[in-house]
Structure 1
Amino acid sequence: MFGIYLKRELSRRKKAALVIALGLALGIALVITVDSVSAGMQQAQGKVLKSLYGLGTDMTVTKARPAATDSSSGRPKFDFDAKSDSSTKQSSDRVMTQGGQSLKSSLVTRVAAQKGVSSAVGALTLNVTKVDGSFTRGTAKSSASGSSGGQQGGPGGGQGSGSGRPQVQGGGASFDVNSYSVAGVDVAHQGLGPLATSKITTGRTFSASQTDAKVAVLAASYAKENKKKVGGTLTISGTAYTVIGIATPDSGESTTDVYLPLKQAQSLGDAKDEVTTIYVEATDSQRIDAVKAAVQKNIPGTTVTTSADLASTVSGSLSTASDLAAGVGKWLSVAVLVAAFLVAALLTSSAVSRRVREFGTLKALGWPSRRVTRQVVGESVVNGLLGGALGIALGLGAAYAVTAISPTLTAQLGSGGGGGPAGGPGGGGPGRQTAANTMEIALSAPVSVTTVALAAGLAVAGGLVAGAMGGWRASRMRPADALRSVA
């Protein structure tokens, strides 16, 4: 009886039901759209952070470099033999640790032993400045005398430009300066650290036995620029390394040019048993702040940087859009949803007031107030479910449109030369550049099952809110009201 009456009443009031359903649908569609775009923003930010950190990295441990003194400015020095002839090409490499102050390799074990730490891996970042070129020796020539011999050097006579004094002509120097970054990788734990954000597209990566082998993996951009291929060699400070692989970053440009086994990098940088960055993976992503506090307490003097700390250094349109989606977008969706609920409730209440004769007659026939209320609530819930279905369809359509268009957002990473979080955690990991690095990220709008479930819940909630108000009003009607309306 309830179902039959419910179906008949909804059929009679199709327009009213459709208006209520559309109002709820718009609010629900906006919630789905904003939620899916926000999820896309988080994914985009995750890609940016992975390009700096390393896949699976939750935090990094570094140590700020002390202020340089006059006696140790940290500037590279180059010495050349200026007497070499023009046929001799000279070359000199200067290798320096980059980023923060070096840490003892033993600290990696201490960090890994902290409560809440799943694994820890050390890495050493170097900067190589290569200067090569040649000197050209000048030629000494004597010009012809421009005055008579008696006058040359005589009293009152000056020595002119043509005095026969030898002059050096020609000569000079031509040198090229090239700078690139090198990351020492723990080959036994490549899933965490500077190489984790790239995939090998040509050749292969390091094997577990190559802990001290003279082999190298090059970033794709560096290999292309310097015309390096797998099987070729790369010489650094007189040591030749065989190129075994070319790595392409998962997103954006690589911030490291050359990857070497950690021991080889330590030998190059004269930093035996030292690292510049410790990459840390937590056992539980929800306890990252607690792990950070434990590391700072038990290992004083270090700087612990989490992905949340690093996210604050990302600027550009990605950051602006993310702030808008998290702030204005969510508040706007909440406001529209509340307005949709109120409109549905008011329309339902208004419809009940126009059904005085109907409900009064039903009560005169013996329907109790709770049955009348149940009837109104049932109609409202059906309207809510209909609005939820429409809202989910509209929301999915909007999310699909955003994903199909894939608007490009830019993320600018602050410069990282000073040991701060800008440009990378603590300024000690790979990719610390003197200039800002800009990445382009294509935005998508993924819709999760949780979002769809939330939309369904909102649809039912909207129907219940509208039904509660209309049912309360219907329950207050008396049979006498129906008689008065007939009169």
Structure 2
Amino acid sequence: MFGIYLKRELSRRKKAALVVAMGLALGIALVITVNSVSAGMTQAQDKVLKSLYGLGTDMTVTKARSAPKAGASQGPNFRFDAKSSGTSSQSSDRVMTQGGQALKSSLVERVGAQKGVSAAVGALSLDVTKVDGSFTQGKARSSGTAGGQGGPGGGGGQPQVQGGGADFDVNSYSVAGVDVTDQALGPLAAMKITAGRTFTAAQTNARAAVVARSYAKEKKYEVGSVLTISGRKYTVIGIATPDSGESTTDVYLPLKQAQSLGDTGSKVTTIYVRATGSREIAAVKKRIQANISGTTVTTSADMASTVSGSLSTASNLATSVGTWLSVTVLAAAFLVAALLTSAAVSRRVREFGTLKALGWPSGRVTRQVVGESMVNGLVGGGLGIVLGLAAARAVTAAAPKLTARLAGTGGGPGAAGPGGGGPGRQTTSTLEIALSAPVSATTIALAVGLAVAGGLVAGATGGWRASRMRPADALRSVS
């Protein structure tokens, strides 16, 4: 009886039911669109953080560099041996640790032992400056007058050096020491090997290198090429490409080789940390800062606040204006549905009064109104999901370009991020990210829940009013 009456009443009031369903559909569609765009913003920010900072993990642990002592050298210096030949070629590499103060390798184990930490690996950031060129020795010539002698007592002028000079090229690039036993965490985590291969777990101290695609193209390196750092030859075994943008690291070496080049013993400059779950990140950060003094813990959320450009602006709009707009429209849709249902009940005074006169209890009348409203809500939810999916698909197909910009110092691994901040080099990194709008199962479940909630709100309002009607009301409405 309930189903038959429900079907008949909805068929009689198709227009009113469709208006209620469309109102709910528009609100639900907007919620789906805003949620999917916000998810796309999060994905875009993750790509930016990986590309700009080399962050392929939940957080990094570093330590600020201590203030230099008075009179200490601030920058690289080069010394060349004097040679007696007229022309001499000279080449020298200056290797310096980049970023913060070097950390003892024992700290990696301490960080890994903290509650909530799933894994921790160390990495070493180096900045290599190569000076390569030649000196040309000048010749001394006397400037004495004609017939005079340039020697003592000869009355000649002072000898002058003519010719000579120097011609040097300066090439600066960044090197990252990688823990080859866990490459899913650390500098190489945000990279994809597009040619050759990566390190094996046995190559902890091998003379092998993985080169970033942009640097390999600039220097014409290929798999099998040999590059030289401080007189040591390294064979290129792979070319790495970042997920988006350009890599901030040029060369990747096994950690032990990088430590030997930088003469740092077994120290590292950055500890990459993976938490056991996303909800543990904030607690793990506080725990590390409390238990390991002097360290700086940086999470993805901390870094996201340093990114500017249209990506940051759009993300702020999606999370603030978009959220409030969707909440406002959804609340308005619920209110309109409740008012329309209540108005429809008012126009059915004779019907409900007659049903009560025939013996229908108030609860049955209420259930009938709530059932009709629930059907309207589910229909509106279905329409809203279709509209929301269409809007999200349109955003993904259009793929609007957003820019992310970071200005700071550095240029090596994690420029201006963990492990970044090279000596006195100002860099500006800009990435262009295509926005997508992925729709998750959680968002669909949210839409269904909102549809049910909208039906319940409208049904409860109309049902309460219908339950208060009396049979006498139906008799008074008969003309």
Q: TM-score with structure 1 length normalisation?
A: 0.90
Q: Which runs of 5+ in 2 are unaligned?
A: 149-155
- How far off its partner does 1:38 sit? 0.8
Q: Would the alpha carbon gap of residues 445 and 140 (structure 1) be closer, same or farther in structure 2, given more than 3 Å must change? A: same
Match of 2:301 in 1: 308
Q: Would the alpha carbon gap of residues 110 and 462 (structure 1) be closer, same or farther in structure 2, given more than 3 Å must change? A: same
8 Å contact from structure 1 (residues 304, 426) kept in 2: no
In structure 2, give the amino acid aligned to 1:311.
A
8 Å contact from structure 1 (residues 423, 432) kept in 2: no
The one of 388, 398, 407 aligned to 2:391: 398
Q: Does 1:266 align with 2:241?
A: no
- How far off its partner does 1:437 sit? 1.6
In structure 2, give the amino acid aligned to 1:348.
T
What is the CA–CA distance in structure 1 between the aligned matches of 2:226 and 2:415, rounded to whole Å?
33
Higher mean C-alpha displacement, 446-455 vs 105-114: 105-114
- How far off its partner does 1:308 sit? 2.1
1:21-32 → structure 2 map (5 Å cutoff): 21-32=21-32
The one of 234, 237, 240 aligned to 1:241: 234
What is the CA–CA distance in structure 2 between the aligned matches of 1:231 and 1:121, rounded to whole Å?
28
Higher mean C-alpha displacement, 134-143 vs 90-99: 134-143
Match of 1:153 in 2: none
* SS of aligned partner of 1:175: strand
The one of 344, 349, 352 aligned to 1:359: 352
What is the CA–CA distance in structure 2 between the aligned matches of 1:141 and 1:422, rounded to whole Å?
51
Q: Would the alpha carbon gap of residues 328 and 431 (structure 1) be closer, same or farther in structure 2, given more than 3 Å must change? A: farther
- How far off its partner does 1:412 sit? 2.0
The one of 457, 461, 465 aligned to 2:453: 461
Match of 2:191 in 1: 198
Q: Would the alpha carbon gap of residues 45 and 415 (structure 1) be closer, same or farther in structure 2, given more than 3 Å must change? A: same
What is the CA–CA distance in structure 1 between the aligned matches of 2:356 and 2:345, rounded to whole Å?
14
8 Å contact from structure 1 (residues 256, 431) kept in 2: no
* SS of aligned partner of 1:208: coil
What is the CA–CA distance in structure 2 between the aligned matches of 1:218 and 1:375, rounded to whole Å?
70
8 Å contact from structure 2 (residues 190, 242) kept in 1: yes
- How far off its partner does 1:292 sit? 2.0
Match of 2:366 in 1: 373
- How far off its partner does 1:140 sit? 5.2
1:197-216 → structure 2 map (5 Å cutoff): 197-216=190-209
8 Å contact from structure 2 (residues 125, 419) kept in 1: no
8 Å contact from structure 2 (residues 125, 177) kept in 1: yes
Match of 2:114 in 1: 114
Match of 1:436 in 2: 428
Q: Would the alpha carbon gap of residues 315 and 86 (structure 1) be closer, same or farther in structure 2, given more than 3 Å must change? A: farther
Match of 1:75 in 2: 75
1:68-467 → structure 2 map (5 Å cutoff): 68-81=68-81, 87-139=87-139, 168-417=161-410, 423-425=416-418, 427=420, 434-467=426-459
8 Å contact from structure 1 (residues 183, 256) kept in 2: yes
What is the CA–CA distance in structure 2 between the aligned matches of 1:86 and 1:350, rounded to whole Å?
103
Match of 1:473 in 2: 465
- How far off its partner does 1:414 sit? 4.1
What is the CA–CA distance in structure 1 between the aligned matches of 2:9 and 2:449, rounded to whole Å?
24
Q: Would the alpha carbon gap of residues 327 and 357 (structure 1) be closer, same or farther in structure 2, given more than 3 Å must change? A: same
What is the CA–CA distance in structure 2 between the aligned matches of 1:364 and 1:33, rounded to whole Å?
48
- How far off its partner does 1:474 sit? 1.5
* SS of aligned partner of 2:188: coil
Q: Would the alpha carbon gap of residues 207 and 226 (structure 1) be closer, same or farther in structure 2, given more than 3 Å must change? A: same
Q: How many pairs are equivalent?
A: 471
8 Å contact from structure 1 (residues 99, 432) kept in 2: no
Higher mean C-alpha displacement, 45-54 vs 133-142: 133-142
What is the CA–CA distance in structure 1 between the aligned matches of 2:101 and 2:226, rounded to whole Å?
30
1:168-215 per-position Cα deviation (integer Å, ceiling 9, x unaligned): 554332221111000111122222111121121111111222221211
What is the CA–CA distance in structure 1 between the aligned matches of 2:455 and 2:425, rounded to whole Å?
56
What is the CA–CA distance in structure 1 between the aligned matches of 2:251 and 2:423, rounded to whole Å?
11
- How far off its partner does 1:402 sit? 0.9
In structure 2, give the amino acid aligned to 1:369.
S
Matched-pair identity in %: 76
* SS of aligned partner of 1:375: helix
Q: Would the alpha carbon gap of residues 10 and 84 (structure 1) be closer, same or farther in structure 2, given more than 3 Å must change? A: farther
- How far off its partner does 1:164 sit? 8.3
1:34-49 → structure 2 map (5 Å cutoff): 34-49=34-49
* SS of aligned partner of 1:176: strand
What is the CA–CA distance in structure 2 between the aligned matches of 1:58 and 1:450, rounded to whole Å?
23
What is the CA–CA distance in structure 2 between the aligned matches of 1:59 and 1:432, rounded to whole Å?
25
Higher mean C-alpha displacement, 301-310 vs 93-102: 301-310
8 Å contact from structure 2 (residues 175, 250) kept in 1: yes
What is the CA–CA distance in structure 2 between the aligned matches of 1:320 and 1:183, rounded to whole Å?
32
In structure 2, give the amino acid aligned to 1:3.
G
* SS of aligned partner of 1:295: helix
In structure 2, give the amino acid aligned to 1:176.
D
Q: Would the alpha carbon gap of residues 480 and 411 (structure 1) be closer, same or farther in structure 2, given more than 3 Å must change? A: same
What is the CA–CA distance in structure 2 between the aligned matches of 1:70 and 1:91, rounded to whole Å?
30
8 Å contact from structure 2 (residues 349, 469) kept in 1: yes
Q: Would the alpha carbon gap of residues 313 and 246 (structure 1) be closer, same or farther in structure 2, given more than 3 Å must change? A: same
8 Å contact from structure 2 (residues 208, 236) kept in 1: yes
8 Å contact from structure 1 (residues 423, 433) kept in 2: no
Q: Which runs of 5+ in 1 are unaligned?
A: 151-162
In structure 2, give the amino acid aligned to 1:452.
I
- How far off its partner does 1:2 sit? 1.8
8 Å contact from structure 1 (residues 29, 392) kept in 2: yes
